[in-house]
Chain A
Amino acid sequence: MANNAEAAAQPAVRLEHVSKKIGRKTIIDDLSFDIYGGEVFGFLGPNGAGKTTTIRMIVGLMRMTQGNIYIQGHSIKGDFKQAIRQVGAIVENPEMYKFLTGYQNLIHYARMIPGISKERILEVIKLVELQGRIHEKVKHYSLGMRQRLGVAQALLHHPSVLILDEPTNGLDPQGIHDLRNYLHNLSREEHVAIIVSSHLLSEMQLMCDRIGIIQKGKLIGVETVNDFIEKGSSKVRIQVDDGRLAAQTVKDKLAIDAVFIDDTTLEVPVEHEKIPVVVDTLVVSKIKIYSVIAVAKSLEDRFLEVTGGKSVE
């Protein structure tokens, strides 16, 4: 695309001090962040944190009490048609008309946006591999097929912002793999901004470039997936001849709270750069070292760490 550089300057989706109050309760509290074209943005948070409410405000299904949301520079409040035109979405489950066929469902949505050709509809059907059963009624579809039909309707009009709530729900491992590849292609090649929310954290780790964590309606942080994981305190697991002595030594000499795991193993919470210092100290103290393993942290560990391991309040 020619206007990549230009598009990159302007965020595809911008949330500005967005708040939502229902009655006296504040559901969303002063949320601000940007999402750019060409990235897959993961929206993380425990149940009830406000993920779905935020997504509903982005697509105009709910009104915000304060603030504004811009999609490609168009306000969803003031310029709804221009803003929503850029968006393809599945909000929660892909609920389609069950008494219509998959094809009739797509025709239905195609009629609502000008410029969608019959070829485009067929192209999208092929993309989600529903060619064989597109003329069957949706009530006979499996959850995975409905999910794929949902993706198809979201892609019909070449959106520059794609919002998928729990997109891997109901897909088999092969389907998840294919979807992941497809989303990567969309973001890299067509410069689409993709917002994904999921409870499957391992899935998010593979799929997303950046993630935003929301808890109790507040944004805790927006970071790249790698930064996010590495920022967490890393740990090394060291195998020695005398675990008890080694743990005591590290505590005494380096003032690090090493954990004695068993007779021959200890775990030391230490930053990456300081691992040699720990090893040196142990060597000097004549402790025999058999192995040093960095304990990799998953997004899930980090997520639980950040959100305090709680789900619904």
Chain B
Amino acid sequence: MSNFVGLLQNENMKIYRRSSAKVMMIILLGLILAAGLIIRFGSDQPKSDPHWKQTLIQDNKVNQKQLAQMKGNKQVANYLKKTIAINKYRIEHNLKPSPGETIWNFMEDAAGNLILVISVFTIIVVSTSIASEFDTGTIKLLLIRPIYRTEILLSKYISALLFTVVCLITLFIASWLLGGLLFGFGGVNEAHLVYDHGTVYQSSWTLAIWKGYLLNCVSLFMTVTFAGLIASVFRNGGLAIGLSIFTMMASSIVITLLGRYDWVKYVLFANTDLTQYTTGTPIRDEMTLGFSLAVLAVYYILFIFIGWAFYTRRDIKA
């Protein structure tokens, strides 16, 4: 076991000592800063509304009317129901909505977009970690140690996922600090209102942010595993990076186009967005959270098994 910790230390050293790791961190921080500045100075912050209860009551009347006219579109109906419920809850519990952007809103916005960036970075890290040693020839000196190839591959995979965790923690801390500086730390104690099957309750924003990170990371996790598979099979980092980023980007468009076919539910990327069961609408009505988790598990086992088989069995000719 202590041996495996040593392997993780090795892989971490090889990830973070590369200049590319520093560049990625700088890009990540730069994007957070840019997003903050654009939101803060790109639009006027609305003033605080002293008659906010009346405004909310007005809003809800409009929403109710719209809801009554709604037919068919479940997604919009759900959104309206949620807005009405939360507004009611605010009025009843005297919870004034903050005007404009708050520290937590900013963190939520930053998460949605920047986890895509973190996905791309982790794809690069995992592909480089697995494939580049074949290009440089260092794989020969790496594999002639009393360690099975399975352990080497596992240490590379885990250290790449740890890189994701490091990025997420960086994202959390940086967006919290920047959000506080730009939009005021006053909003820190604000409660997070959750709408769950018709009822509303208060929850912690920190929890909500990390839950968002986790849900967004399902797609990241599967794409990174896919990149690892390609890198193991073809021993070509560029191919692994290109193919997995392309797949990830193209998937949402393709899935939407294929939404009317029954079999689309078995496609990996129809199941990676688990928010379709929490806040959104499933791609097909018959899909459930359990179904998606099962599909994800099957793909995952397949990826891991094929990648492992190729990495451990093939001759090293590099």
- Interface on A for B, CB 8 Å cutoff? 56, 59-63, 80-82, 84-85, 87, 89-100, 104, 108-109, 111-114, 150, 153
Contacts and interface: CB of A to CB of B under 8 A. Distances in A.
Contacts of B14: 97, 100, 108
A305 B7 CA distance: 49
Interface stretch (B24-32, B65-73, B139-147, B224-232): B139-147
Nearest to B9: A111
Given A63-B315, A111-B9, A112-B146, A98 B141 contact: no
B191 interface: no
Contact of B316 (A62, A90, A150): A62
Nearest to A88: B144
10 contacts: A60-B143, A62-B317, A63-B315, A81-B147, A95-B140, A99-B18, A111-B6, A111-B9, A112-B145, A150-B141
B138 A96 contact: yes
A114 B3 contact: yes
Contacts, number: 77
> Which 10 pairs of residues, A with B, have the shortest CB-CB distance?
A95-B137, A111-B6, A112-B145, A61-B316, A81-B146, A62-B315, A85-B146, A91-B140, A59-B144, A95-B138
Q: How large is the interface on B (under 10, 10 to 19, 20 to 34, 35 or more residues)?
A: 20 to 34
A150 B18 CA distance: 21
Contacts of B315: 56, 61-63
Contacts of B7: 111-112
B145 A109 contact: yes
A211 B144 CA distance: 24
B45 interface: no
Interface in B111-153: 136-138, 140-141, 143-148
Nearest to A82: B146
B144 A100 contact: no
Contact of A112 (B10, B137, B313, B316): B10
A104 B9 CA distance: 11
Contacts of A61: 140, 143-144, 315-316
- State the majority secondary structure of interface residues on B: helix
A100 B143 contact: no
Contacts of A89: 141, 144
B196 to A, nearest CB: 48
A100 B13 contact: yes
Given A99-B19, A100-B13, A80 B144 contact: no
Nearest to A85: B146
A113 B17 contact: no
A222 to B, nearest CB: 24
Nearest to B18: A99
Which one of A60, A85, A99 has the greatest number of beta carbons of chain B within 10 Å? Answer: A99
Contacts of B141: 89-91, 94-96, 109, 150, 153
Nearest to A114: B3
Nearest to A20: B315
A60 B142 CA distance: 12
A59 to B, nearest CB: 5
Contacts of B18: 99
Given A62-B317, A97-B138, A113-B145, 18 more contacts: A56-B316, A59-B144, A60-B144, A61-B140, A80-B146, A81-B147, A81-B148, A85-B146, A87-B144, A91-B140, A91-B141, A92-B140, A95-B136, A95-B140, A99-B18, A100-B17, A108-B13, A112-B146
A27 to B, nearest CB: 11
Contact of B147 (A59, A87, A97, A112): A112
A103 to B, nearest CB: 12
A108 B316 CA distance: 20
Contacts of B138: 95-97
